[in-house]
């Protein structure tokens, strides 16, 4: 706050305690406002982290046990169902169509996909290893984006693809969210991020944070 001196005011008149109190009060208010802002930002990012983590973790649980949402009952991984066969086998457009078809249902693809969902989900919910989760999650989302191939208006059989955007879809949004959460250390609020960062192995290898 700017303080203007008035020339007609007597130079011998001083209110040091009043001015000091006002300055101190302003400083406390500024600090409190700043703390409130940082707290709100921390909780906002923590909420985004937890919701995003639940998306990955639920996908793992539903595909494993077949809760009847995206995976029908009795078709879960524990029932010898394949988590990748349906999705990759139905890819109908894009430059990696034949590659995805060859991957569909392979045990290595099932295990890699499911471990990725579980690891990313647990990391986000716990607030640890967010950098590794961001890298793994971004790679997964990029592959799923290629499988969906939003730029195509029509599928290989000529039918309408139903794509609503030529570039951005939910997979890119999730990838961006993962990168942001890792960049702002979102695990420090409502998570074990601070404790995780103190571990010797994490201190020595920053990519584990």
Q: How far apart are the first and last CA of the chain?
A: 41
Length of the chain, in residues: 209
Give the model's pLDDT for residue 37.
59
Q: Closest Cα to residue 193, out of 131, 128, 141?
A: 128
In this structure, is residue 104 part of a structural domain? yes
- Residue 31: inside a domain: no
Residue 13: the pLDDT is 39
Report the chain (209 residues): mean pLDDT per 10 consecutive residues: 43 43 40 58 97 98 96 96 96 97 97 98 98 98 98 94 95 98 96 96 92
pLDDT at 55: 98
The two three-digit tokens of residue 23, written as one number:
């300055």
- Residue 94 inside a domain? The answer is yes
- Retrieve residue 175's tokens: 């990838």
**Main-chain dihedrals φ then ψ at residue 154, nearest 5 degrees:** -135, 150
The answer to whether residue 11 sits within a structural domain is no
Task: Provide the residue range defining the domain that includes 122.
Answer: 42-208
């Amino acid at each position: 706050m700017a303080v203007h001196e008035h020339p007609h005011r007597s130079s011998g008149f001083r209110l040091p305690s009043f001015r000091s109190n006002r300055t101190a009060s302003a400083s406390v208010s500024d600090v409190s406002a700043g703390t409130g802002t940082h707290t709100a930002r921390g909780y906002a990012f923590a909420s985004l982290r937890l919701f995003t983590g639940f998306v990955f973790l639920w996908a793992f649980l539903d595909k494993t046990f077949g809760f009847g949402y995206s995976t029908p009952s009795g078709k879960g991984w524990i029932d010898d169902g394949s988590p990748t066969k349906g999705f990759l086998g139905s890819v109908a457009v894009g430059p990696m169509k034949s590659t995805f078809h060859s991957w569909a249902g392979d045990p290595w693809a099932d295990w890699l996909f499911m471990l990725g969902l579980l690891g990313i989900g647990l990391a986000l919910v716990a607030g640890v290893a967010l950098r590794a989760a961001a890298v793994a999650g971004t790679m997964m989302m990029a592959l799923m984006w290629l499988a969906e191939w939003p730029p195509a208006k029509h599928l290989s059989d000529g039918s309408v693809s139903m794509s609503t955007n030529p570039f951005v879809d939910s997979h890119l949004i999730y990838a961006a969210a993962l990168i942001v959460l890792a960049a702002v250390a979102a695990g420090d609020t409502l998570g074990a991020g601070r404790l995780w960062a103190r571990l010797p192995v994490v201190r020595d290898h920053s990519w584990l944070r």
